Amino acid sequence: MSIDPNRISDFYNNITEIWSKEDQWHYKTYLEIKDFINNNKCFNNDSKILNAGSGGTNYDIDDTIMTHLDIASELINNKKNKIVGSIESIPTEDNSFTNIICVGSVINYCDPVKVLKEFSRVLSDKGNMILEYESSKTLELIFKKDLNKKVVLRETFYDGQKIILWYFSEAYISKLLEINGFEILTIKRFHIISALVYRITKSINFSSKFLRLDSFFRNIPIINKYSSNTILDVRLRKN
């Protein structure tokens, strides 16, 4: 298995709604992401935000201070500030943005070594980034050989279709962030017990209902270190 960027582009160019309510797992993921972004207020009217792999979603942030970057042109063709391209090679100058948002597991389609190096390059000193990714330390993989692997390619689901993603360990992403000058300010894990329910039932919408129990399981040692999704607020220090 491998991930072909052309197939990714074709796939998402044919998606009519990125966060469809028909796919409750990912719709609730969207709500978690939006809530995290809104609670970590690091934007103001002077911000220059790169929404990396945006899919055309602005998470209720003013589009006038945001540049949408995506490999799928159809998703951002109605945006005034847009770049069609890959987050592995961003066609902008150094220090172009004060903030980066990269969520929706966009980085899981890519090489995080290249991506985080690029993010460090285009983000200004002391700039903030919201980064969300799919973790290999998930109860969906409990007792399997791929559990908590640094990097593993797995088949998963999106919008009722099978897709392929790289899963990353938290330690791996944290180390790459450190290498590229980022420090983690806030971390939130979600889809904790819902991942185990999905493994047992294989029902996307049924298992998504268990996301509401995350607030309980975050208080239980050991279990609270497992999640399908991890979202971070990080700050860049270049000096």
Element (H, E) at 88: none
Helix (H, G, I), strand (E, B) or coil at 215: helix
Topology of the domain comprising 5-236: Rossmann fold (3.40.50)
Retrieve residue 101's tokens. Answer: 């948002």
Say how many C-beta atoms besides its own lie within 10 A of residue 41's C-beta.
8
Say how many C-beta atoms besides its own lie within 10 A of residue 141's C-beta.
22
What is the Cα–Cα distance from 60 to 34, expressed in whole angstroms? 8
Length of the chain: 239
pLDDT for res 159: 83
**Bridge partner residues of 66 (DSSP):** 49
Tokens 């055309």 -> residue: 56
What is the Cα–Cα distance from 35 to 30, expressed in whole angstroms? 8
Model confidence pLDDT, tens digit, residues 87-117: 999 999 999 999 999 999 999 999 999 999 9
Model confidence pLDDT, tens digit, residues 58-71: 999 999 999 999 99
DSSP 8-state code for residue 75? G
Nearest to 33 by CA among 25, 44, 45: 25
Handedness of CA 51, 57, 61, 66 (dihedral sign): positive
Q: How far is CA 121 from CA 87, 95, 128, in A?
A: 12, 6, 13
Model confidence pLDDT, tens digit, residues 136-166: 999 999 999 999 999 999 999 998 889 999 9
pLDDT for res 40: 85
Domain range summary for the chain, segments of one domain joined by +: 5-236
- Output the CA torsion 184→214→150→89 (10° steps): -60
Retrieve residue 157's tokens. Answer: 């689901």
Is the model's pLDDT at 18 over the cut of 80? Answer: yes
Q: Taking all residues of the chain, what is their mean pLDDT, rounded to a whole number?
A: 95
Is the model's pLDDT at 1 over the cut of 60? Answer: no
pLDDT for res 175: 98
Q: If you average pLDDT over residues 195-211, what whole number do you get?
A: 96
Give this prediction's pTM.
Answer: 0.96
- Determine whether 232 is exposed, middle or buried from the number of CB atoms within 10 Å of its CB (0-12, 13-18, 19+): buried
* Residues 199 and 226: beta-carbon distance below 8 Å: no
Model confidence pLDDT, tens digit, residues 226-239: 999 999 999 999 77
Handedness of CA 180, 184, 185, 191 (dihedral sign): positive
